[in-house]
Amino acid sequence: MLRLGRREFGAHEPVIMAIVNRTPDSFYDQGATFRDEPALARVEQAVAEGAAIIDVGGVKAGPGDEVTAEEEARRTVGFVAEVRRRFPDVVISVDTWRHEVGEAVCEAGADLLNDAWGGVDPRLAEVAARHGAGLVCTHAGGARPRTRPHRVAYDDVMADILEVTLGLAERAVSLGVPRESVLIDPGHDFGKNTRHSLEATRRLDEMVATGWPVLVSLSNKDFVGETLDKPVKERVLGTLATTAVSAWLGARVYRVHEVAETRQVLDMVASIAGHRPPAVARRGLA
């Protein structure tokens, strides 16, 4: 069972987490949803297309201008409150590594803290526990927030991913985060080169076998771009191929930009696996 906010998700129910960047310099849309009106329109569209989770981010992952905790909160807290008001049943996630921001967004109505930097602020898990919120436990290879990997090496990248994410997950539960609201994430691109991210995808079933629900954040990432030698705007097909492999191997939650396309991929994989009947089945029966 995966329980987030008011929602419960079954064992074979793939879950889409739609990205809403509250930043003026995001790598994918260059600030298209920085202002409130387009950001709220994005939420409405994502929910209509099948997203169960909205992931709000106030700081882009890569290097750039400094964003203080106060500025990150200014970009996210009021928006979370408005999304909560307009969409009472949607799961609201906030992509942050700072406990101060986590505290503020949970008070505004967030259900999930998406810690993409692997517990760099250990107090974030304490915030999740105090508010009964969920937590995403990510492998970032020890990287500091907003830094790019440089000549990173692992004896066994999946062994390192498992050690870190399982440790973070068990710590979160020990602090009081509900076990059914904790997810683990291999952290594609974070503290990894392209070959590491490809191997993490290939061996994703090892994470699934732990019993913790696995979240993957694949959408238009650099490892997809390098694998196919494609710029950001031409990575959708590579992302969807990686999504299909991840779904077949058992990932549960998919953090994405393209919701409708991802929904079709996940539905198709679920039907092939026998977990979802075809929407229509007339061929050969008439």
User: Looking at the annotation, which residues are catalytic?
Assistant: 221, 255
Q: How many other CB atoms are there within 10 angstroms of residue 239's CB atom?
A: 23
Give the strands of the sheet with 253-256, arranged side by side. 182-185, 134-138, 112-115, 91-95, 53-57, 15-21, 253-256, 215-217
Indicate the length of the chain as a whole number.
Answer: 286
Whole-number Å distance between alpha carbons of 233 and 259: 15
Whole-number Å distance between alpha carbons of 79 and 263: 25
Phi-psi group of 252: left, alpha or beta (phi > 0 → left; psi -120 to 50 → alpha; rest → beta): alpha
Whole-number Å distance between alpha carbons of 139 and 141: 6
Q: How many other CB atoms are there within 10 angstroms of residue 203's CB atom?
A: 18
Bridge partners of 219?
A: none
Structure tokens belonging to residue 283:
């061929």
Q: How many other CB atoms are there within 10 angstroms of residue 277's CB atom?
A: 9
In this structure, the strands spanning 53-57 and 15-21 are parallel
